[in-house]
Amino acid sequence: MDTQNTYKTDDLLFAAFLLTNNIKLVNVVEDFPRHFSFVLSDSKKCQELKISFLNNAPAPARQLFSQREMLLSEIKMKNQYGK
């Protein structure tokens, strides 16, 4: 994994927002017990989108909800099956 060009966040809703904006999920990592972070591609674009997110940028509700559910499923799988 190219950590130079990845972006890490533990904010579930922001990660879902990034996915709705065509950022790719690289990995879900457990930082410590029951605390997960999302590693995403394109650090520069993620940082740009963070400003939009904090300024209440619109996102398609169905897609945002779908991405959030997918991320929660990834966390559940990590909890159930480990790393």
pLDDT value of position 83: 56
pLDDT value of position 80: 82
Measured at the alpha carbon of residue 17, what is the angle toward residues 21 and 26, in degrees to the nearest 5? 75
**pLDDT per residue over 20-75, tens digit each?**
999 999 999 999 888 999 999 999 999 999 999 999 999 999 999 999 999 999 99
Side-by-side strand order, sheet with 25-32: 6-9, 35-41, 25-32
CA nearest neighbour of 71 among 5, 3, 6, 24: 24
Q: How many distinct structural domains can be found in the chain?
A: 1
Helix (H) or strand (E) holding 65: helix 61-81
pLDDT value of position 34: 85
More confident residue, 59 or 83: 59
Domain containing residue 37:
3-81
**pLDDT per residue over 40-54, tens digit each?**
999 999 999 999 999
